[in-house]
Structure formats: C-alpha cells, structure tokens
Structure 1
Amino acid sequence: MRHIERLPEPAILKEKHDEWQNKFDQAKKQNPKARPDSTKYGNPKIRRNLEDCSYNKCFYCESKLSGSSKEIDHFIEVAIDSKQAYNWTNLYLSCSNCNDKADHNTIPVNTALDPCRDSDEEIQANITFEYEYICSQHDSQKGLNTIKKYHLGTDLLDMKRGKWLQKIMADIIDIQNRMRKDGRSLPTQDEQQRLKRYMQPDQPYSLMSKVYLEKNFDYLLETAYEN
C-alpha cells in the first residue's frame, strides 16, 4: 500500500451523480437489499481516472491490474451508508482479492489504513515486510487490521510479491557482478537508478521493494560513481 493522490472527479460523475443516487434511493425503498448499478460507477471514464490515480494498481495491495481483475470497491460499504454509492472519494480501484474484504462489522474502515487519506509515512509506520511477507510494524493494531481487512497476507499475494523480489534480486546480482569485474565498491548512477526504480509508486509492490532494498542493500542506494 502506498499513499494515493486522488485526481479530480470525472465530469460524468459530476453530471450524473444526483440522477444515479436518486434512482438507487428509489430502488432501496422497494428492496432494502438493492445494490447500486455497477455499470454506472464502473463507467469507463470513471474507471480510467481510478487507474490513473494508482498507475493501474490495486489501491490496497499494489498488484498491477488487467482485464477481469479490475474491480471498483466502495471504501465505505453501501450497506453502511447508501449515500456513498456514487461519491468519487468513496470509489477505490481494487483487485478481486482485496475487494473481498472483511466487512465493516468485522473490521471498521476507520481502524485500518486508508491509502487516499494516510501518508506514506503513516502507512510505513504501521505495516512493513519481511521479504515478501507483510506484517505489522511494531505490532501496530492498525497495521494488523489493514492486513486482515484487505487480505494482504494471502498465499497468492505472497507468491506474486516473491516473484517480484526475484526480479529485483536478478538486477542486484547483475550489478554486483559488474562491480566485482570493474573493481568498484559502489554502483554507477545508472545502476543505482535501476534499483531505485523499483521503489517508485508506479511500480508493483513498491513499498515492499523499498523496505527490502533499504534493509538489505542500502549500500547500493546511498552513493554512486558518476558514469
């Protein structure tokens, strides 16, 4: 999870919000279990804005999304507040794993991290990684709640994050081999940037990558030879 700067509300949502919400309100009167129309809040223009907010990653786990894996989550569940059905700030891009989250009665959203509200510093104060395994930072309850609510510790995510670490490690080994061959104790600026690229928020699992590199290979990040 990384902090996400939300883009301005899409024009179609500004234009249609009241109409869509009124229709949903009427449907709720007829059937209290009615759900908002996903073809409306999932409009391609709305979805595109969400994709641009997160570099086409799940807001919660940072997995890159494609095709049917893209879902739109109501951060505050519609069952809790039906007036949030078409609110721009309540729509989050999610993978199917994280969208199948623990409900509000089990873990309220205000007891877990919010990528659109919390800063990177706040997120990193509550969750961290041991290799591909996510864990709470200093036994943070908010970190634990976040991991549980969005199922961030599943075997599937461990596997995906592990494969990403293998990619990083291949670059590290290549850089270390080049340094030995050239008799250098430091990487070049280009080599350093190869590694720092993994830590950028447009990359999958960028927080895990940042923690892994800073914890294990900080000497490759701090100072570099000019090319």
Structure 2
Amino acid sequence: MRHIERLPEPAILKQKHDEWQDKFEQAKKQNPKARPDSTKYGNPGIRKNLEDCSYGKCFYCESKLSGASKEIDHFIEVAIDSKQAYTWTNLYLSCSNCNDKADHNTIPVNTALDPCRDSDEEIQANITFEDECICSQHGSQKGLNTIKKYHLGTELLDMKRGKWLRHIMKDIIDIQNRMITDERSLPTKDEQQRIKRYMQPDQPYSLMSKVFLEKNFDHLLEAAYENQK
C-alpha cells in the first residue's frame, strides 16, 4: 500500500451523480437489498481516472491490474452508507482479493489504513515486510487490521510479491556482476537509478521493494558518486 493522490472527479460522475444516486435510493425502497449499478460506477471514464490515480495498481495491495481483475470497491460499504454509492472519493480500484474484504462490522474502515487519506509515512509506520511477507510495524494494531481487512497476507499475494523480488534480485545480481567485471566498488549513477526505480509508486509492490532494498542493499542506494568523478 502506498499513498494515493486522487485525481479530480470525472466529468461523467459530476453530470450523472444525482441522477444515479436517486435511482438507487428508489430501488432500495422497493428492495432493501438492492445494489448500485456497477455499469454506472464502473463507467470507463471513472475507471480510467482510478487507474491513473494508482498507475493501474490495486489501491490496497499494489498488484498491477489487467482485464477482469480490475474491480471498483466502495471503501465505505453501501450497506453502511448507501448515499456514498456514487461518491467519487468512496470509489477505489481493487483486485478481486482485496475487494473481498472483511466487512465494516468485522473491521471498521477507520481502524485500518486508507491509501487516499494516510501518507506514505503513516502507512510505513504501521505496515512493513519481511521479504515478501507483510507484517505490522512494531505490532501496530492498525497495521494488523489493515492486513486482515484487505487480505494482504494471502498465499497468492506472497507468491506474486516473491516473484517480483526475484525479478529485482536478478537485476541487482547483473549490476553486481558488472561492478566486478569493471573492478568498481560502486554502481554507476544509471545503475543506482535502475535500482531505485523499483521503489517508485508506479511500480508493483513498491513499498515492499523499498523495504527490501533499503534493508539489504542500502550500500548500493547510497553510493557516493562524487568518488567516481
């Protein structure tokens, strides 16, 4: 999870919000179990803005999304507040794993992290990683709640994150081999940027990558290039 800056409300939602919300409220009067129309809040213009907010990643677990795996989650569930069915700030891009979250009665949203509200500093103060395994930072209850609510510790996510770490390691080994061949003790500036690229928010699992690289390869990240001039 990384902090997400939400883009302005899509034009289609500004135009249609009241109409869509009114229709949903009428439907609920007929059937209390009625759900909002996913073809409306999943409108291509809305979906595109959400994808742009998170670089095409799940807001919660940072998995890159494609095709049918892209789902739109109501951060505050419609069963809790039906008036937020078509509210822009309540719509989050999610993978199917995270969208199958624990409900509000089990873990309220205000007891877990919110990528659109919480800063990167706040997120990292509550969750961290041991290699591909996510865990709470210093036993943080908010971190534990976040992991449980959005199922961030599933075997599937461990496999995906582990695969990404192996990809990073392959790149680092290549850089280290080049350093040995060139008889260098430090990476070049381009090599350092190549490593740091994995920590940027447009990359999959960027928080995990940041924790992993800073813990294991800090000497490469902090190389003093002045010594190479």
What interval of TM-score do these two structures reach, taking the shorter chain for normalisation? over 0.9
Residues 52-87 of structure 1, C-alpha deviation per residue, up to 9 Å, x if partnerless?
A: 000000000000000000000000000000001000
Residue matched to 1:107: 107
Greater Cα shift, 141-150 or 170-179:
170-179
> In 2, Cα distance between the equivalents of 1:102 and 1:14?
30
> In 1, Cα distance between the equivalents of 2:223 and 2:186?
7
* Contact 1:165/1:209, CA 8 A, preserved across alignment: yes
How do 1:1-227 residues align onto structure 2 when only pairs under 5 Å count? 1-225=1-225
TM-score by length of 1: 0.99
SS in 1 for 2:101: coil
> In 1, Cα distance between the equivalents of 2:160 and 2:148?
18
Q: What displacement does 1:178 show?
A: 1.0
SS in 2 for 1:6: coil
> In 1, Cα distance between the equivalents of 2:17 and 2:68?
25
Greater Cα shift, 181-190 or 135-144:
181-190
Q: What displacement does 1:181 show?
A: 1.4
* Contact 1:187/1:224, CA 8 A, preserved across alignment: no
> In 2, Cα distance between the equivalents of 1:177 and 1:56?
33
> In 2, Cα distance between the equivalents of 1:163 and 1:224?
30
Cα RMSD for the two superposed structures: 0.8
Q: Which amino acid aligns with 2:114?
A: D
Q: What displacement does 1:182 show?
A: 1.5
SS in 2 for 1:72: strand
TM-score by length of 2: 0.98
SS in 1 for 2:20: helix
Q: Which amino acid aligns with 1:175?
A: I
Q: Which amino acid aligns with 2:67?
A: G
> In 1, Cα distance between the equivalents of 2:73 and 2:192?
37
Residues 4-55 of structure 1, C-alpha deviation per residue, up to 9 Å, x if partnerless?
A: 0000000000000000000000000000000000000000000000000000
Q: What displacement does 1:184 show?
A: 1.3
SS in 2 for 1:129: strand
Task: Give the share of equivalent positions with the same residue, in percent.
Answer: 89
